[in-house]
Amino acid sequence: MTAYKNLSFLSRLRFACAGVAHGLRSEQSLRTQSLALLAVLISLAILRPAPLWWAIVLLACGAVLAAELFNTAIERLADHLHPDVHPEIRIVKDCAAAGVLLTSCGAVGVAIALLVELLHR
């Protein structure tokens, strides 16, 4: 495992990109959220909010995608280590899914705040 520790940035970047690619291939929710990000980017380009709003919205979107990838990683690891249904594993997976839900709720809150801001221009 330590052989991976001191690899170049580009090597580590390839690992991260492979993780994103795997998530997109295997998780419908990540594909849906990625399409939502595309719609958000188009909306931002059309609405042209202040740069601070771009930053806030993109951070919220990035947090949702990251939470979904963490959830995928936790679920895969849990299923690998304990393929049978187990109450404790269910709790771990439920908590990971709840993290995605709460992050998504925060992103919706950002969207609502942006809409309120734009309506009061």
Establish if 4 belongs to a structural domain: no
Across 45-120, where does the E strand assignment appear? none
CATH of the domain at 72: 1.10.287.3610
CA distances from 60 to 3, 75, 83 (A): 34, 22, 33
Surface-to-core class of residue 71, CB atoms within 10 Å of its CB (0-12 exposed, 13-18 middle, 19+ buried): buried
Establish if 16 belongs to a structural domain: yes
What per-residue confidence (pLDDT) applies to 4?
A: 72
What per-residue confidence (pLDDT) applies to 17?
A: 96
CA distances from 71 to 8, 54, 59, 106 (A): 27, 26, 18, 17
Establish if 3 belongs to a structural domain: no
Establish if 65 belongs to a structural domain: yes
Establish if 1 belongs to a structural domain: no
Tens digit of each residue's pLDDT (9 = 90 or more) over 41-99: 999 999 999 999 999 999 999 999 999 999 999 999 999 999 898 999 999 999 999 99
Domain tally, the chain: 1
Establish if 30 belongs to a structural domain: yes
**113 is in which domain, residue-wise?**
9-119
Tens digit of each residue's pLDDT (9 = 90 or more) over 19-43: 999 999 999 999 999 999 999 999 9
Establish if 103 belongs to a structural domain: yes
pTM for the whole thing? 0.89
Query: How far apart (Å, rounded) are the C-alpha atoms in residues 27 and 16?
Result: 16
